[in-house]
A and B are shown apart, each in its own frame.
Chain A
Amino acid sequence: MTRPSGTPRLIHEAFARQAARRPAATAVVCGERTLGYGELDALAAGWADALAALGAGPGTVVPVLLPRSPELVAALLAVLRCGAAYAALDPKWPGRRLADVIASLAPPVVVGRARPDGTDAPLWSPPPLDVPLPRSGRAAPVPAPADGSSPAMVFFTSGTSGSPKGVLSPHRATTRLFPEGEAGFAAFGAGHAMVQAAPASWDAFGLEVWSMLTTGGTTVIAEGDHLMPHRLRALIRRHHVDTVWLTASLFNLFVDEDPGCFTGLGQVITGGERLSVPHVRAFLAEHRDIVLLNGYGPVESCVFATTHRVGAADCATPTGIPVGRPVPGTDVLVMDGGERVPRGTTGEICLAGDGLAHGYLGDRAATAAAFVELTVDGVRTRLYRTGDLGFEDDAGVLHYRGRKDLQVKVAGHRVEPGEIEAHVREVPGVRDCVAVPVPGPDGSYSGVHLFYTAAPGHEPPLEPRTLRAVLSRALPAYLVPQRVHRRDSLPYTKQGKPDRTALAAR
């Protein structure tokens, strides 16, 4: 694996180095507002003092509930300077789920505009950016190991058991992706500007923000909840953005609805789901001069494990657009039965290197099952078993083939049907249920349909509409089934498992 050298491995140190070099350079743009590197550094330092005084420090996780904004970026840097890790949470999650997640972190302080219901940790709200900060008492960042192994962020992702899993990711998992110079998988740094449109709770947020802020580039925050094609056009025109990340389903939407909207960009990064060949073909035909990258990787190996520069020849690959070669600081091993398989043979994609998370917060069993230590080619290696299937071709390029289990990606969100089912079974009036992912026209999944049987003796029988309303109050929108069907019975296979294929075919 390529080990980036010279780049600080702590996110806030890599940022501070850029701020010291070019304090007047633009770090963050949002509408009419811009923040220079020097200004952002000073803000983060001042806010870190305030957070540290409330107990943020090494070993703690600070939930941050702010809309995507310059304030959010400064707050996250402040948390990191304290030596703490941040968990950027979506304030739109149902209250109960949010409160449960925050309680599981036992945070010293919550950063946000209002204290979430059911939380008793003190609330800290960032002051307006134009309020001058006191100049005294600004402490240096809390020292942390230079190898970047200390926790930096927590991502919550769908868990089969019914509760979200908290993935604890160290600094180096982010900084490994963005070495200075030519070694990176894409062009970042001074002279580059990237759109920030992903929810802060996603690891893709780091791709949009830390890519630029650790290398001297600019992150341009898209206003509103959704990046629309015409808004992308405006960001290119007004702020000269040259890089955008779009999950595959969003990429497809942009190509369908406004294929010219990419004009002016230098690189488009997509992935997170299987790419659609017709959409890729249409994009390449119209934008020959834009670099198109396909990124692959679970959040347990922060943002990407591999990337592939997509060319016209890839559209003819029978197994689909390849996912490519490892990013810096990452190794890919295709394994079966504890051994690497030969090239061309499909096995489970396992990942090693600096991108790996420490594990799942408070869940040793799940961590031990997914993160294993094996001797590979005579070397003790910590591996993350992705549950993804794939093979390396003769050139060492990775191809994705599917999942070992039922997990799917819906519009970029990782969805465990088991999590939805666990919630449905708790609803009074439900006897049995199966959540069935629905394949979309472009090779990804468009959503999940739910089938259930009503519990006997529950009068009147639970209506699909009522059940869906109950789920809407308990689950984030992306986990709520689009359609809910009541059945007299559910089909089972001979092995006694729900027959999802039969249900999907209906």
Chain B
Amino acid sequence: MSDRQLSAPAPGPTPSGLPAEISAIWADVLEVDSVAGDLSFYDFGGTSLQAMRICARIERLTGREVAPELLFDADTFEDFVADVLRADDGTER
């Protein structure tokens, strides 16, 4: 578990750092070395429990609610990150 890096200071990372943070969360939860941007959560064999774990960590990192369904709906990792960023700046929800 990567609790230490997750209990980050309150303001949270800048948007430019977010894709890297999310990529690290994916890799940790899916137990893979790295996450290729053009693969989907489904391609990684992701389960709904793993989706929930990823969303719980993103929620703690950014304070923004990300529905686990979003992981299955996004076609690629990059799309998912874009969805999270949209949620983060408040244009979605």
**Residues on A facing B (Cβ under 8 Å):** 224-226, 228-230, 249-250, 253, 256-258, 410-411, 446-447, 472, 477-478, 481-483
B residues 44-82 in Cβ contact with A at 8 Å: 45-49, 51-53, 55-57, 59-60, 65, 67-69
Contact A258 B60 (CB under 8 A): yes
Q: Which residue of B lies closest to A482 (CB)?
A: B45
B10 within 8 A of A: no
**CB pair B68 A229 closer than 8 Å:** no
- B64 CB → nearest A CB, Å: 11
- Given A249-B49, A447-B45, A228 contacting B69 (CB threshold 8 A): no
Q: Is the CB of B47 within 8 A of A256?
A: no
A228 in contact with B49 (CB, 8 Å): no
| With A411-B47, A411-B48, A482-B45: A257-B53 Cβ-Cβ less than 8 Å | yes
Q: Which residues of A lie under 8 Å from residue B42 when comparing CB positions?
A: 472
| CB <8 Å contact, A224 and B67 | yes
Interface residues of chain B, those whose CB is within 8 Å of chain A, are 1, 42, 45-49, 51-53, 55-57, 59-60, 65, 67-69
Check A253 against B53 for contact (C-beta < 8 Å): yes
Inter-chain CA distance A224–B51, complex, in Å, is: 14
Instruction: List the A residue with the shortest CB-CB distance to B66.
Output: A228
A and B contact pairs by CB, cutoff 8 A, 7 listed: A224-B69, A226-B48, A230-B56, A446-B49, A447-B47, A482-B45, A483-B45
The closest CB in chain B to the CB of A447 belongs to B47
Also in contact, A253 and B69, with CB within 8 A (given A411-B47, A447-B45, A447-B47): no
Docked CA distance A481–B69 (Å): 19
- Choose from A229, A257, A482 the contact partner of B47 (Cβ within 8 Å): A482
Taking the nearest CB of chain A, how far is it from the CB of B78, in angstroms? 19
> Which of A228, A257, A478, A482 has the most C-beta atoms of chain B within 10 angstroms of its own C-beta?
A257
Nearest CB in chain B: distance from A257 CB, A = 4
Determine whether the beta carbon of A250 is less than 8 Å from that of B49: yes
Known: A225-B67, A226-B67, A447-B47. A253 touches B59 (CB 8 A): no
Of B48, B51, B57, most buried by chain A (CB within 10 Å of CB) is: B48
B55: A residues at CB distance < 8 A: 226, 228
Question: A249 to B60, alpha carbons, bound, how many Å?
Answer: 20
In the docked arrangement, what's the CA distance between A315 and B63, Å?
34
Q: Which residues of A are found within 8 Å of B65, using beta-carbon distances?
A: 228, 230
**Which partner residue on chain A sits nearest B46 by CB separation?**
A482
Residue of A nearest to B68 (CB): A226
Are B48 and A477 touching (Cβ within 8 A)?
Answer: yes
Please tell me if the beta carbons of B60 and A411 are within 8 angstroms of each other in the complex.
Answer: no
Known: A225-B69, A230-B59. A253 touches B45 (CB 8 A): no
Q: How far is the CB of B31 from chain A (nearest CB, A)?
A: 9
Across-interface contacts of A478 in B (CB, < 8 A) = 48
Measured CA separation A258–B1 after assembly (Å): 12
Q: Complex: how many Å from CA A249 to CA B67? A: 19
Taking CB atoms, residues of chain B closer than 8 Å to A477 are: 48
Contact B67 A446 (CB under 8 A): no
Given A257-B57, A257-B60, A483-B45, A226 contacting B1 (CB threshold 8 A): no
